[in-house]
Amino acid sequence: MISKTLFTGMARLTLLLGFVVVVLGAYVRLSDAGLGCPDWPGCYGEMVVTDRISENGHLYPERPFESHKAWKEMVHRYAAGSLGLLIFAMAFFSWRKRDEFRVRPAIPIVLAVLVIFQALLGMWTVTLLLKPVVVMAHLLGGLTILSLLFWFNLRLISTDRPADTAQSTLLSWAIAGLVIVILQISLGGWTSANYAALICPDFPVCQGSWWPPMDFSEGFILWRGLGIDYEGGVLPADARTAIHMSHRIGALVTVLVIGTTAIRLMRGTDGSLRLTGVVMLFVLLLQVLLGVSNVLLRLPLPIAVAHNGVAALLLLTLVAFLYQAVVPNSSRRTL
């Protein structure tokens, strides 16, 4: 029916497509095409973007049809749908061939459940008019799926099962780093969803000050009721400044902790851990460069999208580190 080699190839393809879907999602959001299709799962009542859609404009008079935005949104949906089908196939074959392939089907089954929930978040992103908490949850859901796909692929190339007792020091650093990166990505998602990326046009200061006027209580209200169109943002300047500065402070903490972690790994004796440290430090520095460039260059689309993609890669380096902390040395491979 399917060989272990073909199944492994499917898993790798699914991981690659998962990364593409995350980057496409960022591209759609940052190019202001998140409501390019005001309905779900179709677009103005159609499943394919054609000239017929313009005839259905009366269905959403408040949202005039814009072909370029509709295409961006639908390509993302097609890619996400394909990813979902591949994950369902992985879950089926990992369960059906669990003894022959010597794989645990738990992660693919969890992924299948997450895909369903992620699809609901995608629908709510549109129907709730880009509500920031839903947009951020949709981002985190996509990155959770990507991280689990990466972990599953690492398990496929391992010869041993995870150790019963992990190396405590490594594990502590890995968990701390992973938590900090997730929190920083969440702050980045909140910044983007509230259109706060450009509120500070200078760096390292913001609006010419190290501590400009900010309203944290207003900036971090998660739920503001229904029926609000969040496209373009609804928050006052002080609230957006608070969000942006929180993301900068989080970036500083991330650099200190992840940078220290990477240097510690690079100074160790384990070859695979040293390589992980090198990759981690490189990705971290690249992410900082992209973040500063976004501010100074006024959020150019290619750099903004790259900032999201490299954030995903940074997360995966921490997942790889966590995996190395949990799995015994005998089954490690060069990452």
Beta carbons within 8 Å of 6's beta carbon, 6+ residues apart: none
Query: In Å, what is the CA distance from 279 to each residue of 43, 67, 153, 310?
Result: 41, 40, 18, 12
In three-state secondary structure terms, 130 is coil
Plot region of 115 (φ>0 → left; ψ -120 to 50 → alpha; else → beta): alpha
CA-only gyration radius of the chain, Å: 21
Report which of 272, 203, 287 is spatially closest to residue 244, judged by C-alpha positions.
203
Report which of 21, 17, 3, 326 is spatially closest to residue 174, judged by C-alpha positions.
326
Cβ atoms 200, 244 nearer than 8 A: yes
Angle at 42 between CA 39 and CA 47, to 5 degrees: 155
Count of Cβ atoms closer than 10 Å to residue 195 Cβ: 19
Which sequence positions are flagged as catalytic?
73
CA distance 208 to 260: 30
CA distance 144 to 148: 6
